[in-house]
Amino acid sequence: MPSCRNCGTGVKDSDNFCPTCATPQNDEASRRLNEYIDKRARGLGGGGHGPDGLRRRLQYAVGYVALVAGLTTLTAGAGVFFLLAGLVVLPPVQSLAETQLGRPLGDRPTAAAAGALFVAGTAAFVFV
């Protein structure tokens, strides 16, 4: 009976993966596992790595900061603008809007809308 490449546990000749540590036991299993991992990483926007993953993280950060600013300044009247700016930027809201419109919105229109709302909120906070 052969042993696992990684942990030494006994494995059957027909096992593609170790039952203890899940290490691939042959080249075909390794190739299939790598393909699966690559496919999942591409489907998740690189898993948070690369330009798309960084952009998505930045969208969440800006969206949450705007939402907190909106909740903080809600009584001043400016909070509504900050809340809307935060919602426009968040990826789930953007994805929902794209689904409803049937086409992608793009980064520039989203950033322009959020920027305009943020400027309006700042103006309302300063001048009102």
Give DSSP secondary structure letters for the chain.
Answer: --B-TTT--B--TT-SB-TTT--B-SHHHHHHHHHHHHHHHHHTTGGG-HHHHHHHHHHHHHHHHHHHHHHHTGGGTTHHHHHHHHHHHSHHHHHHHHHHHTS---HHHHHHHHHHHHHHHHHHHHH-
Q: What is the pLDDT of residue 46?
A: 47
Q: What is the pLDDT of residue 44?
A: 58
Q: What is the pLDDT of residue 83?
A: 93
Which of 102, 64, 100 has its CA nearest to residue 83?
Answer: 64
pTM of the model: 0.57
Interatomic CA distance for residues 11 and 8, integer angstroms? 9
Domain range annotation of the chain: 1-43, 47-127
Asked if residues 11 and 25 have their Cβ atoms less than 8 Å apart, the reply is yes
Interatomic CA distance for residues 91 and 62, integer angstroms? 11
Mean pLDDT by 10 residues, the chain (128 residues): 88 90 90 84 58 82 91 88 92 88 86 91 88
